[in-house]
Amino acid sequence: MTRPQPALQQNLMFHPYNVMLALLLFGLSGLFLALTISYTYIRVTMDVPPVQLPALFLVNTLVLLASSVAMIRAKQCYLNDQTEAYQRNLLGTIVLSVLFMLMQALAWWWLFQMNNIGMNSSTTAGFLYVISFTHLAHVVAGLPFLIIFYRTARKRMVDPVTVLVYFSDPEKRLKLRLLTIYWHFLDILWVYLVLFLGINYLI
């Protein structure tokens, strides 16, 4: 398969998609940093007790990390021209992401129904809902792109010629790399949030 030439790779580095993703990740980092700093400030100044982190948040961490592993494998399979494995790992990432969403809803139900902790229960409870919901919203936002990649692969990888065209498309390779970076960022962000909320509950 033909790989991108150095000059083309250099052009792709400054592609508008790269710039947009960098700005998005920078903005999300600032948003969640502001939320966690506000959470800490309110806890300290108002002496508000923290909310117990649902155990499902920890399970969800493993689910999200598994989706990230599947995404890494999908990218590796793409680079190695492994058609079936590429599609299988993309589908695995989608399934694990949907599972993450469902389990998040279950964790909120546990907080609200089993422990009677709503958004108005306390300031820290409100922050817990806002932080976890905002993260989930960005997982939901990335899911359509995963589905598009999977459907495109299923549609176009039907014979050796279309497979060759699909795998040799430099823009598709760029988009897959950016989507992989975005997914890893969401995973790292979730691990940070779970550690932050868990440590806050313990101290």
Predicted pLDDT of residue 8? 43
More confident residue, 117 or 59: 59
- What is the pLDDT at residue 167? 75
Domain boundaries, the chain: 10-202
**What band does 90 get if pLDDT is binned at 50, 70 and 90?**
very high
Q: Residue 56: name the closest of 125, 115, 117, 102 by CA.
A: 102
Tell me the pLDDT tens digit for each residue of 14-69.
Answer: 668 888 998 999 999 999 999 999 988 888 888 877 777 888 899 999 999 999 99
Report the pLDDT value the prediction gives residue 125, as an integer from 0 to 100: 81
The CA distance from 92 to 160, in Å, is 24
| CATH code of domain 10-202 | 1.20.120.80
pLDDT of residue 47: 81
Distance CA 142, CA 68 (A): 13
Percentage above 90 pLDDT, the chain: 45
Q: Please name which of 23, 17, 55, 29 lies closest in space to residue 145, comparing C-alpha atoms.
A: 17
Residue-wise pLDDT for 132-163, tens only, equals 999 999 999 999 999 998 998 888 777 777 77
In order of 64, 79, 159, 187, 197, the CA distances from 93 in angstroms are 9, 17, 24, 12, 26
Residues with Cβ < 8 Å from 16, sequence gap 6 or more? none
Q: Residue 9 — pLDDT band, cuts 50, 70, 90?
A: very low
Instruction: Determine the pLDDT at residue 116.
Output: 60
Compute the distance between CA of residue 180 and CA of residue 161 in angstroms, rounded to an integer. Answer: 26
Span 181-192, pLDDT tens digits: 999 999 999 999
Give the mean pLDDT of the chain.
84
pTM: 0.85
First-to-last C-alpha distance (Å) of the chain: 55
What pLDDT, on a 0 to 100 scale, did the predictor assign at position 147?
A: 94
Count of beta carbons in the 10 Å neighbourhood of residue 165: 12
* 99: pLDDT strictly greater than 70: yes
Question: What is the model's pLDDT at position 5?
Answer: 47
